[in-house]
């Protein structure tokens, strides 16, 4: 596709599903980016075109939902030997059918470089999720070994809170044995992602994983190595830009974060209005990341909002268990 196609595709952006008549036993919940219909032990997960930053939903970006969903399917396929995932079926370019899992209430962030919120904490003299870093580090410097920096999953629009390993275990948020398995798995996923990114000329800088338990087995859920949950830099210019102290070339959401920070927005108060040209630039960066990582041309398949809603409603009505009542504390 061409960059100019994005203006036309904006009319197909999906902000939220319109599901006025879900079957008995089905319920709809919305997160920052995904709309989820829960039916018994299954979910229909639709990745919308909403974009968030600093835990705030801000706008819609054309093709974003399709990029995130199909790229996650790409990564699920390439990491299935490391950890099972919750995928049951691809329903559409934006929607999947997935197994419900008991939520592990922690976002697992793995960092390979000193950048983003870790850099801001470091420059302000704070540890990064309880990890003290050596003095004299430079922006965008590579860590000798990746850092695992968890944060709590907060509800109701509250900011996720960085938490140290010690706090996480002492507070009983996650049992020690499970957390050690999560650590091993997250680092293995990050290594695999880094290898595939490097083979395609990119650096996987940092990323976020979410996990659940399915029948007692650790399971990868949500999204994997997408431009929403990860930072990517171009590998061929990393050393030159690092040596010069210049900003790296990015293919992720950091472009939008920096645009917001330059206008004084960090998640509190009224966000600035985001011009269409900024949102289209975000869309093109996401599509470029998709094409670079997969080695394929991106061809939009998404339905418009009405079509996606109708498809999800039809699948919800045909899903076994639609007349049952879903349990609690699962996702």
Cβ pair 94, 64 in contact under 8 A: no
| Model-wide pTM > 0.85 | yes
Res 50: pLDDT: 97
What does the pLDDT look like over 24-62, one tens digit per residue? 989 999 999 999 999 999 999 999 999 999 989 999 999
Within-domain flag for 52:
yes
Burial code (b: 16+ CB inside 10 Å, e: under 16) for 204-230 equals bbbbbbbbbebeeebbbbbbbbbbbbb
| Dmax (CA) of the chain | 62
Residue reference for tokens 């919750």 = 86
Structure token digits, residue 133:
């870093």
What does the pLDDT look like over 135-188, one tens digit per residue? 999 999 999 999 999 998 766 556 678 899 999 999 999 999 999 999 999 999
Number of folded domains in the chain? Answer: 1
Q: How confident is the model at residue 221 (pLDDT cuts 50, 70, 90)?
A: very high
Res 95: pLDDT: 98
DSSP per residue, 160-209: P-B--HHHHHHTTSS-HHHHHHHHHHHHHHHHHHHHHHHHTTEEEEEEEE
CATH for 135: 3.30.470.20
Q: Is residue 38 classed exposed, middle or buried when 0-12, 13-18 and 19+ CB atoms within 10 A define those classes?
A: buried
How far apart (Å, rounded) are the C-alpha atoms in residues 271 and 151? 23
pLDDT, mean of residues 10-20: 94
Within-domain flag for 328:
no
Within-domain flag for 331:
no
How far apart (Å, rounded) are the C-alpha atoms in residues 104 and 306? 33
Within-domain flag for 175:
yes
Q: Cα 193 from chain centroid?
A: 14
Res 64: pLDDT: 97
Res 126: pLDDT: 93
How far apart (Å, rounded) are the C-alpha atoms in residues 281 and 253? 10
Residue reference for tokens 């420059």 = 123
Cβ pair 32, 50 in contact under 8 A: yes
Res 327: pLDDT: 38
Within-domain flag for 330:
no
Within-domain flag for 232:
yes
β-sheet bridge partners, residue 221: 210
Within-domain flag for 327:
no
pLDDT, mean of residues 90-117: 96
Range of the structural domain that residue 193 is part of: 5-318
Q: Is the pLDDT score of 1 beyond 60?
A: yes
Q: How many C-beta atoms lie closer than 10 Å to residue 322's C-beta? A: 18
What does the pLDDT look like over 282-327, one tens digit per residue? 999 999 999 999 999 999 998 899 999 999 999 999 987 766 433 3
What does the pLDDT look like over 225-279, one tens digit per residue? 999 999 999 999 999 999 999 999 999 998 999 999 999 999 999 999 999 999 9
Residue reference for tokens 């990393």 = 238
Res 324: pLDDT: 45
pLDDT, mean of residues 182-209: 98
Within-domain flag for 326:
no
Average pLDDT value over all residues in the chain: 93
pLDDT, mean of residues 87-93: 97
């Amino acid at each position: 596709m061409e960059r100019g196609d994005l203006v036309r595709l904006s009319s197909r952006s999906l902000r939220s599903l319109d599901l006025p008549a879900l079957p008995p036993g089905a319920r709809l919940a919305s997160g920052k980016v995904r709309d989820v219909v829960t039916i018994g032990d299954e979910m229909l997960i639709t990745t919308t075109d909403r974009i968030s930053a600093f835990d705030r939903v801000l706008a819609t970006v054309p093709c974003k939902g399709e990029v995130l969903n199909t790229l996650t399917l790409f990564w699920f396929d390439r990491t299935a030997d490391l950890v099972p995932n919750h995928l049951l079926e691809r329903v559409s370019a934006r929607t999947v059918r997935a197994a419900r899992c008991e939520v592990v209430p922690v976002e697992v962030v793995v960092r390979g470089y000193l950048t983003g919120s870790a850099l801001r904490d470091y420059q302000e003299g704070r540890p990064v999720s309880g990890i003290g870093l050596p003095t004299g580090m430079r922006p965008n410097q590579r860590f000798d070994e990746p850092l695992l920096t968890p944060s709590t999953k907060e509800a109701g629009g509250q900011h996720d809170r960085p938490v140290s390993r010690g706090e996480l275990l002492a507070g009983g948020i996650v049992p020690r044995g499970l957390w050690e398995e999560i650590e091993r798995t997250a680092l293995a996923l990050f290594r695999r992602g880094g290898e595939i990114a490097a083979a395609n000329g990119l650096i996987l800088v940092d990323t976020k994983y979410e996990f659940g338990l399915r029948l007692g087995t650790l399971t990868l859920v949500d999204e994997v190595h997408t431009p929403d949950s990860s930072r990517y830099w171009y590998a061929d210019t990393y050393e030159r830009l690092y040596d010069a102290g210049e900003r790296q070339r990015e293919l992720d959401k950091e472009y939008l974060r920096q645009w917001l920070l330059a206008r004084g927005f960090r998640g509190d108060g009224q966000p600035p209005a985001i011009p269409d040209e900024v949102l289209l630039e975000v869309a093109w960066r996401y599509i470029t990341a998709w094409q670079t990582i997969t080695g394929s041309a991106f061809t939009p398949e998404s339905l418009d909002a009405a079509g996606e809603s109708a498809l999800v409603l039809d699948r919800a009505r045909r899903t076994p268990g639609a007349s049952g009542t879903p349990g609690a504390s699962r996702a």
